[in-house]
Structure 1
């Protein structure tokens, strides 16, 4: 019983607003318009710095939240929003500059549409959301690694030649994991709905 209570304390999600992970998530969100401006205006150096800073803070806010028990509802809300905004703005910027093909953008946006519809359906059944799955986070990390490399691939030198295959490797892994995460979320959502229906029937 004591072990169970200790585990429950470790996974408490608080209502606190002012925490280090939440501050990092807010800073990531504030960086989105600057990143979009940088990538659309061809300021690749600044865009790369902002994108790398986003990846580092994304890693740190989750690590700090788990290690110091600072997990909060606000953080759980802000973190996926920041991830999606960076992915969306990067897709828009790279597509605008013809650095990635339309099919990649379509595949990633289609996955977002599927997830959006799934969450809307869950909300209609009284379920506010789903916990973040490690496969989804792995997909996000792969994509956030892929985008700066694909941006570097635009260079006509050895650095561009090196970045191109690495960028596409991360992009493919990110795309596959992104859709795999959607399947896992769908399975989890069905289990949640099934359990809810059994509870109501009982």
Structure 2
């Protein structure tokens, strides 16, 4: 197992650690664990690309580790009353739609849009809004809703890019009569 995949695996290990710390009411240490997971995400991608260590296993496990950590954090904030059901549902709906859509089109042989700066910015903004909630900053929930709206906007942009990427070339039959 190479270093990037080891860092990705560490993120899976950090999930139950986060749960245990959060469940004991230690919000700041729990946030630091989530932040450590985010740092390993940045590092594993950087190291993999820089050293030519990108693997199929890593391409599969990396986004899974990210989503599981984010889901864990969202559920913990929901159960503890730090965010509303509506906010959690909006975040889950968007992520579920992106995952399901990507899988559906991938298995139909369509080209999928790789993660780009918009997706990465959305993730950074989500982490920022979660940090504000952890530190109980005034208006943190308004910022979270702005990030949720931005995430839906980026999803619409991904859909547009997907359509352009899979647009049949001029003169290519589309299967419609």
Instruction: From the superposition, tell whether residues 75 and 200 of structure 1 become closer, same or farther in structure 2 (CA, over 3 Å).
Output: farther
Question: Match of 2:129?
Answer: 146
Q: Which residue of 1 aligns with 2:37?
A: 54
Residue 108 (str. 1) matches residue 88 (str. 2): no
Q: Which residue of 1 aligns with 2:66?
A: 83
Tell me which residue corresponds to 2:8. Answer: 25
1:54 Cα offset (Å): 1.1
> Which segments of 5 or more consecutive residues in structure 2 lack a partner in the other structure?
none
Residue 171 of structure 1: aligned partner: 144
Indicate the residue corresponding to 1:183 in structure 2. Answer: 156
TM superposition shift of 1:188: 2.7
Distance 1:190 1:198 in 2: 15
> 1:133 touches 1:181 (CA, 8 Å); kept in 2?
no
**How many residues align structurally?**
174
TM-score w.r.t. the length of structure 1 is 0.73
Q: 1:74 and 2:45 equivalent?
A: no
Q: Match of 2:167, SS? A: helix
Deviates more, 1:189-198 or 1:110-119: 189-198
Aligned 8 A contact 2:111 2:166 in 1: no
Query: d(CA) in 2 for partners of 1:60 and 1:185?
Result: 25
The alignment partner of 1:194 has SS state of coil
Runs of 4+ in 1 over 6 A off after TM superposition: none
* Contact 1:135–1:180 (8 Å) recurs in 2: no
Q: Aligned Cα RMSD in Å?
A: 2.7
Q: Name the TM-score, length of structure 2 as normaliser.
A: 0.82
What CA distance in whole angstroms lies between the structure 2 residues aligned with 1:195 and 1:170?
40
Deviation at 1:177, TM superposition (A): 3.4
The reply to whether residue 117 of structure 1 matches residue 100 of structure 2 is: yes
More helix by share: 1
* CA contact 1:123–1:129 (8 Å) conserved in 2: yes
